[in-house]
Structures are given as C-alpha cells and as structure tokens.
C-alpha cells in the first residue's frame, strides 16, 4: 500500500514540476503574428490641439504618448509621424515628460514641408509609429485642428 502511495506522490510531483516549468517559460514566449513583428497600441495627444500654419511664430509641436521613454531609449529604432497618410514629418526629437513618458517634438517648419497633405481649417488625422530594434511597432492615432488664418 505504501508503494502505491509513493507512486501517486511521484506522479503528482512530476506533474506539478512540469506545470511550473511551463508557467515560467510561457511569459518569455513572443506572441507576434506567426513569429513575426507585433504591433501594439499607444495613446497620443497633440499639443497644441490647434495649429495655425499661417502663424508667423515658428514654435514646437509636441506629441505626448503613454509609452515609457525608457522603453524607447533602450530599444527604439525609429520614429514616424504621419498627417493624413502623408510622408512622415522629418527631424523628430524624442524626450520625456515629468512622468517618464515619451514626448515627440518637431517644429512648425518641419510640418510645413508636408503642407500639401494638410487640410486647412479642418480636423486632420495624426498617426505616430515607433519602431523597435526587434521589429515590433507601437502605433497611435489622434486628431489635430489645422487653422489657416493670418493675424491682422
């Protein structure tokens, strides 16, 4: 009878050992599409939310994200900002805010390079794509109003 109980204990302990080994390895597995790159969603806010492209002041436009800056700093490869499915804005600078989130900055002059893609006096779609070294992408979409009026 003791021999049967020892077998049960051995089978149960082997089962639990195998289950725990599987549970520790499972989080290390990549869940990309068929072993390919994965795409993740990030939230974005454009600041200012109304951009006057006829303004004589040439300021910075910032895109605030909820992505950790440290993730981009250690694994980030490239940044893209698209307005209405245009070519990407050039000269994008990455920095962080006081909460440690990624902030993207570019100048109004850089935005004016793709002026032909902008819809003046209307809501424009903005898409941010952050590519990582391993091929994963973090993407977010938002809106910004583009105004075209000169101060008199």
User: What is the C-alpha to C-alpha distance for residues 107 and 91, in angstroms, rounded to an integer?
Assistant: 8
CATH number where 129 lies:
2.60.40.10
Measured distance CA(148)–CA(110) in Å, rounded: 16
Say yes or no: 43 and 117 in one domain. yes
Q: Read off the pLDDT band of 140 (50, 70, 90).
A: very high
Distance CA 7, CA 120 (A): 77
Residue 152 in domain: no
Structure tokens at 63: 């895109």
Predicted TM-score (pTM) of the model is 0.70
> Who has greater pLDDT, 144 or 18?
144
- pLDDT the model gives residue 150: 67
What does the pLDDT look like over 97-116, one tens digit per residue? Answer: 999 999 999 998 898 888 88
Considering its fold, how many domains does the chain have in total? 2
pLDDT of residue 125: 93
**Residue 69 and residue 26 share a domain:** no
Strand partners, 39: 137
Residues 85 and 16 in one domain: no
Report pLDDT for 124: 92
- Residue 8 shares a structural domain with residue 53: no
Please report which confidence band the pLDDT of residue 81 belongs to, taking 50, 70 and 90 as the band edges: very high
Same domain (yes/no): 7, 53: no
Residue 29 has pLDDT above 50, yes or no: no
Is residue 126 pLDDT above 70, yes or no?
yes
Q: Are residues 52 and 3 in the same domain?
A: no
Q: Do residues 26 and 81 both lie within one domain? A: no
Residue-number span of the structural domain to which 103 is assigned: 38-147
pLDDT at 144: 92
Share of the chain above pLDDT 90, in %: 43
Looking at the fold, whether 104 and 52 belong to one and the same domain comes out as: yes
Do 94 and 128 fall into the same domain?
yes
């Amino acid at each position: 009878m003791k021999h049967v109980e020892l077998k049960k204990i051995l089978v149960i302990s082997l089962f639990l050992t195998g289950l725990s080994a599987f549970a520790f390895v499972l989080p290390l597995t990549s869940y990309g599409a068929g072993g390919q790159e994965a795409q993740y969603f990030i939230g974005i806010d454009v600041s200012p939310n109304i951009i006057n492209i006829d303004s004589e002041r040439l300021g910075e436009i910032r895109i605030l994200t909820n992505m950790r800056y440290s993730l981009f700093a250690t694994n980030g490869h490239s940044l893209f900002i698209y307005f209405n499915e245009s070519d990407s804005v050039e000269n994008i600078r990455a920095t962080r805010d006081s909460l440690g989130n990624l902030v993207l900055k570019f100048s109004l002059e850089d935005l004016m390079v793709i002026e032909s893609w902008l819809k003046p006096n209307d809501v424009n779609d903005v898409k941010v794509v952050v590519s990582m070294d391993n091929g994963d992408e973090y993407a977010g979409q938002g809106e910004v109003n583009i105004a075209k009026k000169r101060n008199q």
